[in-house]
Structure 1
């Protein structure tokens, strides 16, 4: 039994929209009947999904152009191919890049030494002009537990945000929030440290982006139920408030180990601000619960901390 997200009707056999993730009754199951957020991706002035049989109907839209480019790639990216999960899905693409980067960190460090690894992947206060590290540091991580924690959050919550805002805007949110979170962390290190040296710790990790994702969902639906440690159901606003409190506390009193609390706070603030923008301009809301087999932010109960490295 579930309630329709539009009319609140109880349904024994509800429909789950694969485009926006919502739950609907028979009267509102069609995308055009529940103001589906996925309609924005179809360039259809009447707001109706094309059947998919007439290629000319979408000849001018960006999705079709992307499909034509993908068709030229000598790898099967179709629904049955090995890259099917990455087709039009930036969440899984970023997850793959995170794990590939983590493997590259290990390989480069083992073969060429830690200094080259840090130059390529670690955003350091002594070298802020290494612009590539603004972004490579988002995908690099400080250990297996670190990357696993961030991966759990992005895997469960990333697709929800991507459905609402679209893949392109989701990618921009992820990269901008991740980069600004890292830059804010090294900025506060520069202010707090009398002398910054090449050996001063830098930052790695996608938790700034992960907390931005949580921030967006907190604004769209603060009552969304998530499972802390896969066991304890809590509203997402409480989880978000907990991270904000912890970050502010350690920034105020110092300490906190090797966790980059300023990066957490900035990523969360960006997500909250962007979530408010989306809500005001598109009038959308998140579903009342997750439909991932009872999953939630999982593992450690939330994002693996963006690490000083």
Structure 2
């Protein structure tokens, strides 16, 4: 017996939405009845309820100025059912894949061309802020296996929940913008406070700022969401988030304490920047849709096994 992701009722014959992938009862099976992200994100109800007619050929004097007729293949790639349609509803997994691809590229470039070239491509540094591509690549790059593994676990379990609530386009914007702002904020604060270290340079990599934003959004949407710390210890999400926030604040204020427990090279301020942005955005979208009360394996099959990660990795 499955559970409706909208109202929570149990159904013997559930319906699965082809657009958002969630499970619904008969009352909420239509996209407009469960606030499907396809309606709000794409603004294309005709794409959701596809009539089967080809709209690509239009009168050149129409309202689009003949754009559709001049670019007949554009909608086939970007529209509903197009080549890129697969990524709608799967952006969290897309970013997860990009993180590991970038990590592999780091290792490859470092082995072939040296650490300096790798740093120029993937590391956001205080002395190279004009390397604007690193504002983006540093989000997906990571400092080690444990670093990327921790961030991957959190993104895998929490990312899709937030994405389904806000839509793929908004989720992608939240993740990338917050990741960049967290990195730039950390570097800027280090310059302003004169805490650049003996080398006079501070650098940052990792998706932890964006991950904390995802945590912040989900904490606002459902603070009582039960997760399993290290897959064993059940805790509510608000306590999990508050605990990591407190640790980040303490280590940011006392770098010596952070260094004493092996956390001295972690950008704790970036975590806090991401969390604040996530909490603020969560308040903005709060109440638009219902989110699950617990994380389980197996989708909408009712109560199941443990789900949820350990903590976010380093930035």
TM-score class normalised by the smaller sequence: 0.7 to 0.9
Match of 2:26 in 1: 26
Decide whether aligned partners of structure 1 residues 66 and 166 sit closer, same or farther in structure 2, where only a CA change above 3 A counts. farther
CA distance in 2, matches of 1:209, 1:151: 12
CA distance in 2, matches of 1:52, 1:222: 41
Verify the 8 A CA contact 2:138 2:206 in the aligned structure 1: yes
Decide whether aligned partners of structure 1 residues 196 and 260 sit closer, same or farther in structure 2, where only a CA change above 3 A counts. closer
Verify the 8 A CA contact 1:38 1:163 in the aligned structure 2: no
2:96 pairs with 1:95? yes
2:77 pairs with 1:69? yes
Verify the 8 A CA contact 1:17 1:31 in the aligned structure 2: yes
What is the DSSP-based 3-state SS (H/G/I as helix, E as strand, rest coil) of the residue aligned with 2:248? helix
Instruction: Show the 5 A alignment for 1:33-112.
Output: 33-44=33-44, 49-51=48-50, 53-56=52-55, 68-69=76-77, 86=87, 89-112=90-113
Verify the 8 A CA contact 1:214 1:240 in the aligned structure 2: yes
2:297 pairs with 1:292? yes
Structure 2: runs of 5+ lacking an equivalent: 59-63, 299-304
Verify the 8 A CA contact 1:207 1:303 in the aligned structure 2: yes
Decide whether aligned partners of structure 1 residues 270 and 97 sit closer, same or farther in structure 2, where only a CA change above 3 A counts. same
CA distance in 1, matches of 2:179, 2:90: 18
CA distance in 2, matches of 1:285, 1:186: 37
Shift of 1:232: 2.0
> Which has the greater radius of gyration?
2
After TM superposition, the score normalised by the length of structure 2 is 0.78
Instruction: Show the 5 A alignment for 1:1-309.
Output: 4=4, 6-7=6-7, 9-11=9-11, 17=17, 19-20=19-20, 24-44=24-44, 49-51=48-50, 53-56=52-55, 68-69=76-77, 86=87, 89-193=90-194, 200-254=201-255, 255=258, 256-279=263-286, 283-293=288-298, 294=305, 296-298=307-309, 301-306=310-315
Verify the 8 A CA contact 1:190 1:196 in the aligned structure 2: no
Decide whether aligned partners of structure 1 residues 44 and 134 sit closer, same or farther in structure 2, where only a CA change above 3 A counts. closer
Return 209-218 or 187-196, whichever deviates more.
Answer: 187-196
Verify the 8 A CA contact 2:89 2:164 in the aligned structure 1: no
CA distance in 2, matches of 1:66, 1:157: 32
Decide whether aligned partners of structure 1 residues 129 and 147 sit closer, same or farther in structure 2, where only a CA change above 3 A counts. same
What is the DSSP-based 3-state SS (H/G/I as helix, E as strand, rest coil) of the residue aligned with 1:28? coil
After TM superposition, the score normalised by the length of structure 1 is 0.79
Verify the 8 A CA contact 1:125 1:196 in the aligned structure 2: no
Can you list the C-alpha shifts for 1:274-295, whole angstroms capped at 9, x where unaligned?
1111126xx2232223343446
Decide whether aligned partners of structure 1 residues 88 and 268 sit closer, same or farther in structure 2, where only a CA change above 3 A counts. same
